[in-house]
Structure 1
Amino acid sequence: MFSYSLRLFDILLHRDSSGIPQEALREAKTRYAQFLQDDVVTQDVIDEAMIHFGLASWEYWEAEEEFMELYGREKEKELFLSSLSDSLRDTWHQYESQLHGEAVYDHDDAFEGTFSAEEHYALEEAVVLAKEKVIGYVRSLASVEKADEYMQLVIKFRKEKEEILSLLEQLSLMKDQLPDNFDEEIDTFVHYVKQGFAEIEQRPLATVVQGNIDFYRSKLVSLETNK
């Protein structure tokens, strides 16, 4: 069993951003449950299921991330502080002032020297609670109060996804013009980029795919010149 991949798949299934196609989510959950019972499932099969779900969900995940940056970070801090006792909140503000307002929840020397073990635990609880609540807050904004703005972001990221997939198709078609020994490396790169839609690999970027197209175009020119 590929426990790491299945754990990552489970994380993706819990990223139920506003607007994700429910049919795609149900299908992904069904595949995940099947994989848990399948002792001979392969890594490639798991990857393909994750990519399929990622391609259906990516623009919603990206839109939610941008909404989180726009509307969630300050709210998260507000929720974090509201979960603290008055005395611990005062200590946190003092800690912030020592670091010129750049305080973060981190076990560095300054943090360890400021808070007791009991306060560490209370801060950890407050961080977790704030993160849970802010997700609900952002998703509520996305589905009601700021639904139009959210959908504009979804459309923006969907167009980006479609551009990347179009470029990948162009790259794959170049295999017909190149010697066969380039097929495997092109296929590997295309798969790598698609894995990014499922967050298995780095975020896919059109500029990176275009860079590979340009590289293989130069290879074609070189091969033609040397004939």
Structure 2
Amino acid sequence: LKHHIQYIKNVKQPFFTYVQTLSNHEPFDLPVPPHFPGDDLSNKFRSTAYYTDASLAEYFKEAQKYVWYTKTLFIMVADHGHRLPRNNADPFEPEKYHIPLLFFGDVIKPAYRGKRINKLGNQTDIAATLLAQLNIPNKDFKWSKNLLNPYSKEFAFYDWDNGFGYMLRDQVVSYDNSGKRVIYIADRTKDQALTDKTLLFGKAFMQQVFTDYMKL
């Protein structure tokens, strides 16, 4: 993160840049003593998360010293979820794929600061969401939707080695392609017709993604 601050000093404005941190990732190595003692993986995970959080605090403290800080929109997002620290090992559980997405900075209007948006989405939705706020066309990002548009359909898709999950506001269905069966259902409505529909949505989504990929 310190290197990134130095890098931006030599970048012409306006700029778009990103940083990927790896501390909170296996093998959970740290350059400082762990905040949570112990050799168990859960505490190692917590310690690297604590270290990452503290490092981000130092990064933004330093960034505030530069003129570009007040003109910059910062976006923080995880690349994937993790089974730790709760040790949710099953790949079909949607909680394993739950990640944060944070937009912040002085460029955000005061009325929207601190606002929480409880809307289902994927990482692919960042593109359309960001571009929409900048009044830039986003039609080229066909797999992306504007999460800040109240009329955008709520859904999320996740997958693993040989299966996928599809999430709606009232239901989540995970499908195991090896066994050709549904292996997880979270349904607030107890509606079998909705389950069948959700499963079809998930299959269609995955098939279309692969179709587009094979055309590249």
Q: What TM-score, normalized to structure 2?
A: 0.26
Which has the larger strand fraction?
A: 2
Q: Which has the greater radius of gyration? A: 1
Which fold has the larger relative contact order, with Cα–Cα distance below 8 Å and residues 6 or more apart in sequence?
A: 1
Q: What TM-score, normalized to structure 1?
A: 0.25
Which has the larger helix fraction?
A: 1
